[in-house]
Amino acid sequence: MHPKFLTKLQQHLSKEFVLTDPQKCWPYGTDGTQCFFMPETVVLPKTHDDVVFITRLCNEYEIPLVPRGAGSGAVGGAVPIHGGIVMSMMRMHNIVSIDHENRVMIAEPGITNLAIQIAAKKHNLFWAPDPGSREYCSLGGNLAHNSSGPRAIKYGTVRENVLALKAVTGNGDTIHTGAYTTKNVVGYDLTRLLIGSEGTLATITEATLKLLPLPKKQMTLRALYRSIEGATTAVTQIMGQAELPSALEFMDKTTVDLVRQYGGVDLPQGVEALLLIGIDGNDHSINDVVSIIQEASKTSDLMTIDIAKDEQESQKLWQARRRISPSLRHVAPKKINEDIVVPVSKIPALLKALEKLSKQYGITIVSFGHAGNGNIHVNLMYDPDNKLQAAHVDECLQKVFTIVLNLNGSLSGEHGIGLSKQAFITQEVDEHSLNLMRQIKQVFDPKGILNPGKIFPANSPPL
């Protein structure tokens, strides 16, 4: 790295926020995937102007610049595969304003999702996106990956819940997208373009979030089924109602067995599939919605439906979902965790095909997730020391993606492409569309310094 470049950085930011010691840089070289690439330098800006300065300098010296939030991403998005600078946004964690009359919050990208929810709750409001990592993941990461959770079924993903953005493009220009209002048709929708762009087009320095009124009451239902078809038919029936649940989570038999055996969750034998259903609303309306959804959950293979009467009982029912991740560790030393999506009516076909694949390759496949969106977390569990499994796991994964695309689905519902899935993107996105995306990248980031080597296949022409 050019010595003048480093001196200029240190003059602007102060040495404390320009890390060059490998020991201090090391934690910024990985993310939720645990792949590792060492950053040459880590910078910690505090203001929008700092981000402009850093970006212009990287642009001048043509040094890779990787924006980073909390590093919990599931696709290697925040790792510096070409070295250069990692720019941690976590010091920019202020709430700029909360306007409860118009239900709008303006916040900086380093704030955690949970801190947004806590601040909004004081005004009886909430922000819809609710990833499982909410306690530590950053708003910037949520925006960059269009991250969501169970509530997306009723309230949408990040794209439906952001009004405007302030960002810095690859050549250091400041842009403002969208508007403060909930309706806006002035030019192209750059807000929705930047959301999900994985730090490759611009660094987001401020977001205007659409908040929603906090429901007064929440209830949880747990339905157990004797067959997968029983549960998936119920999902289609529930999604056909005018009153949507606020969560509709699915667990297959392998997942149910796992949380029973290793998670200590009390579940009867014979359960082939489980649905966890969240319902929210007002005091006067919620019981009606519960009845409607309870009715829609009924299929010939329904075993029982439990309804939590209070918060404590509700937490107990949700335990089954929360115990999945720790229980997975008992299945095999390694997992490939995908977050594919299919149309809701295709979930049964997907699960049947996965069962076949699991038998064919001798690889345990654990499937669970946000059934209401058809967004299923498919986990291929394998032992790298098992020669047969290790030799077949990539082929098995390829088959998973082929099945999903044949069912009119998509490779990723919420994790993004990053590094992990770039080899597969051409199977979903046609050549012309991918070329258009490359050209868009070029316009936002002419020298290709922003998070290089992500999204586009590794053998793409250089950007």
Residues making contact with ligand FAD (CB under 6 A): 31-32, 66-74, 77-78, 89, 109, 131-133, 137-138, 140-142, 144-145, 147-149, 198-199, 203-204, 414-415, 451
Give the CB-nearest residue to ligand FAD. Answer: 141
Give 142 or 358: the residue with its C-beta nearer to ligand FAD: 142
Give 197 or 314: the residue with its C-beta nearer to ligand FAD: 197
Give 89 or 190: the residue with its C-beta nearer to ligand FAD: 89
Report d(CA 449, CA 201) in Å as an integer.
Answer: 9
| Closest CB 328 distance from ligand FAD, rounded Å | 11
| Closest CB 141 distance from ligand FAD, rounded Å | 2
| Closest CB 137 distance from ligand FAD, rounded Å | 4
Give 196 or 281: the residue with its C-beta nearer to ligand FAD: 196
| Closest CB 77 distance from ligand FAD, rounded Å | 3
Give 78 or 259: the residue with its C-beta nearer to ligand FAD: 78
| Closest CB 441 distance from ligand FAD, rounded Å | 14
| Closest CB 269 distance from ligand FAD, rounded Å | 29
Give 296 or 437: the residue with its C-beta nearer to ligand FAD: 437
Give 348 or 418: the residue with its C-beta nearer to ligand FAD: 418
| Closest CB 229 distance from ligand FAD, rounded Å | 26
Give 141 or 172: the residue with its C-beta nearer to ligand FAD: 141
| Closest CB 416 distance from ligand FAD, rounded Å | 7
